[in-house]
Chains A and B, each alone.
Chain A
C-alpha cells in the first residue's frame, strides 16, 4: 500500500486522482458508478456567473484516440451551483475543486468572491483556457498579461486558505511564460493542460462536423503534449504544484504525468468511455507504484527530471 497523499497547495488530498473539469459535471452522474469521496477531488464543470446555453449541436466528433467537443460552457450558473451541486458534493464527503470561467476579469473576481463566501470549497481552478468561446481573443491563457490579470483578481477575491490553480492552454508558443505570469500574479498552482483547438470535416457532407466549426481536442491523442507541457513548466517552476491532465486512461498514464512533474492527475475524456475510470486509475496507479517498490507518491513527482542514475540508486537502496 503506497502512501498516495498529495498536496493541492497547502491542502492535503488523500490521493492524486481528480476528475477533469467538464468531464464529470458536478459529480452526481459519476456517483452512480464510483464513490466520489474515495478519489482525490471532484473538479467541477466550469461554473459561470449566469446560466449559459452553450453551443448548438453537433457538439462532438470522435477522432483517433480522442474527441472534439464544442460544448461552450453550458451550465445553470453560480447560484444553482451553490444551491444544489456544492452541498450535494459535500454531503457525499467529496472534496470540491470548483472550476470557474468568465468573459471578463470582473466576472472571474465575482465568482471567486461568491465561492469564498460558501463553505466547503477545497480549491478554485481558474479556467482561462476554454477554446469554445466566440472569440479566440477571449482565451485569456493565450496572453501572459491577460492571464495574470485574471489570476490576480481571483487570488485577490478568494479566501486566503483556498488555493487558486490556473488552467492553461497548450495552444501557445511558450507555455512557460504564461505559467510564470500566473504564478507571479498569485496562482498557488497550475492545471496543465486544457484541450487543443481542433477541427473535423465530414467528407460525406463536405462540411465541418461541429456546429461550432472548431472544438477542443482531448483524449489519449493529446497525452504526449500534456507530458511535454508539464515537463517544461516543472523545469522552469519546480516549486509550483501541478494538476496534470490530458489523455490519462490508465494508472500507468497517470504515473507518466506524475513523473513529468504533476502532483495530481485529472481524468477527463476517459470518464465518457469508462464512468468508473477514476476509481480504476487510482487502483492501477497504486499497483504501478507498489510494483516499482515506491512507497510514497511524493517520491516520484517530477522524478523524470532527475539524472538517469538517480532512480536506480533509490530502488537498489530499497532492496537492502
Chain B
C-alpha cells in the first residue's frame, strides 16, 4: 500500500505561531507554514514537536489540519485538546514562538467525481478536518450535511460553521447541552434518510467510527473514516499506529494509520479487532507462508505454541484497556 510515493511529499518546517485561540474546550493554533499549506488536502494532518529544542518529550503530536489560508505565504491551523504535558506546552505557546512541524501527512479524503449528497460526521474535535473537506466537496457541486456531536456543548467543535455552511447541520450532545441529546450515531439513520446521503465522511473516536461504518453498511453507503490512532512519528517509520485493515485482496494486514491512512474505507477496517492482532492477519503468530510449511514444521510448532501462550492474554488486555481508557468523545490522535 505504501508503495506509491506521494508526488508532493511532506515537508519539515520551522513555523512561526500566528495565533493560539481558545475555542470552547479546545485550542486552535495557526502557524505560518507555506510548504505545508501549499500541499494540503483535506484529511491530512501535521506532526508537531513539543517542548522546545531541549525537550524531554520525543514523540511528535499529530493533529488533523483544520484549515489552510494563503496569508503570510501560507498558514496552517489545527485544533487540539489539552490531554497531557505535550498539549499543555502547546497551549502555552504564543504568537511568534517557533514550532517544528512536519506535514501534510497521510492520505487525504478521496473526493467524489460526481455531485453527490455527502454527510460529514464528526465526534469531539474530530470534526476539525471536515470543514476544509466540505469546501472541497462544494467545489465539486456536492451537497454537504453535517452531523457532529460530543459529550457536551463546549466539546462540539465547529457547530456554528456547520450550521452556517451545511445544507443541514445536526448537533448531538450526550448531556443535551446543545442540539439533540444522545450520540451522533443515534441520529445517523434519520439524517441519512432526510439528506438522501450517498457517501459518508467521518472523523472521531474509534467507537464512533465503528458504529458509523456498521450503520452505513445497512444502507449500503460507503464510509470514508479518518482514524485517530496514537502515533510517535507520523511519517511511517515507528510502526506504532497500526490497525487491522483488510485489503482488496481479502488479506488483513496491520497497516500504519499515518501513511496508509488516516483515511480508510470504513468497511475495510476491522473495527472490532483494533488493538489486537487478528489471528488471520498477515504474519500473525501461527501464520505461515504456504511454501515453507513443510520445511519448517519445527518453527511452526514453536510459533503456534507461543501464540497459544502469549496472544489471548495480550489480546484480552488490549480489548479492555485502551478502548475503555482513551476515548470519551474527545477524539485524539496524539497520546496525551
Binds A, one of B53-61, B160-168, B173-181, B182-190: B53-61
Contact with B along A42-79 (1 / 0, CB 8 A): 00010001111111111111101111010100111100
Q: Mark A1-23, 1 if CB is under 8 A from B, else 0.
A: 00000000000000000000011
Interface locus among B143-151, B192-200, B214-222, B282-290: B282-290
Name the contact of A107 in the complex, choosing from B5, B240, B253, B299 (C-beta under 8 A): B299
| Contact among A57, A66, A204 for B240, CB-based, below 8 A | A57
**Residues of A contacting B318 in the complex (Cβ-Cβ under 8 angstroms):** 56-58, 211
* A212, B277: Cα distance in complex, Å: 11
Task: State how many angstroms separate the Cβ of A250 from the closest Cβ of chain B.
Answer: 10
Complex: A64 Cα to B6 Cα, angstroms: 34
Interface residues of chain B: helix, strand, loop or mixed (majority)? loop
| Residues of chain A contacted by B309 (CB below 8 angstroms) | 134
Residue in A33, A62, A74, A202 whose beta carbon sits within 8 Å of that of B57 in the complex: A62
Interchain CA distance A58-B257 in the complex, whole Å: 13
A22 CA to B318 CA, complexed, in Å? 23
The answer to whether A28 touches B57 (Cβ under 8 A) is no
- Judge whether A29 and B237 touch: CB under 8 Å: yes
For the residues of A in contact with B, the DSSP-based class is loop
CB of A198 to closest CB in B, whole Å: 14
Asked if B100 and A274 sit within 8 Å, CB to CB, the answer is yes
B169 shortest CB reach to chain A, Å: 34
A57→B229 contact, CB < 8 A: yes
Contacts of B298 in A (CB 8 A): 104
Q: How far is the CB of B85 from chain A (nearest CB, A)?
A: 9
Assess whether A32 is interfacial by the CB under 8 Å rule: yes
- Identify which of B3, B6, B233, B236 contacts A84 (C-beta below 8 A): B3
Does the CB pair B277–A55 fall under 8 Å? yes
Residue of B nearest to A135 (CB): B306
CA–CA, A230 to B4, complex, Å?
40
- Does B230 have its Cβ within 8 Å of any Cβ on chain A? yes
Residues of A within 8 A of B232 (CB): 60, 62, 67, 69, 272
Interface bracket on A: 35 or more
- Is A273's CB within 8 Å of the partner chain B? yes
- Rounded to whole Å, the gap between the CB of B243 and the closest CB of chain A is 7
A271 CB-CB contact with B under 8 Å: yes
Question: Do A56 and B60 have beta carbons less than 8 Å apart?
Answer: no
Chain B 82-106, CB-CB to A under 8 Å as 1, else 0, gives 0000100000000000001010000
B284 to chain A, nearest CB (A): 5
**A69 shortest CB reach to chain B, Å:** 7
Stretch binding the partner chain, chosen from B17-25, B107-115, B131-139, B320-328: B320-328
Are A57 and B242 in contact (CB-based, < 8 A)? Answer: yes
- 15 new A-B contacts, CB < 8 A, other than A23-B237, A62-B335, A65-B56, are A32-B6, A56-B277, A57-B240, A57-B243, A58-B318, A62-B336, A71-B239, A74-B283, A77-B289, A202-B325, A207-B317, A208-B317, A211-B321, A275-B12, A275-B102
Residues of B within 8 A of A (CB): 2-3, 5-6, 9-10, 12, 49, 55-60, 86, 100, 102, 229-230, 232-233, 235-243, 253-254, 259, 274-277, 281-285, 287-289, 292, 298-299, 302-303, 306, 309-310, 314-315, 317-318, 321-322, 324-325, 335-336
Residues of A within 8 A of B (CB): 22-25, 28-30, 32-33, 45, 49-62, 64-67, 69, 71, 74-77, 84, 103-104, 106-107, 134-135, 202, 204-205, 207-208, 211-213, 219-220, 269-276
Closest 5 CB pairs of A and B: A51-B283, A272-B233, A53-B283, A60-B240, A211-B318
A-B contact pairs, 29 of them (CB 8 A): A25-B236, A25-B239, A28-B5, A28-B236, A29-B236, A50-B292, A55-B277, A56-B275, A56-B276, A57-B230, A58-B230, A59-B240, A60-B240, A62-B58, A65-B58, A67-B232, A69-B240, A77-B289, A104-B299, A107-B299, A134-B309, A134-B310, A202-B321, A211-B314, A211-B317, A272-B58, A273-B59, A275-B102, A276-B12
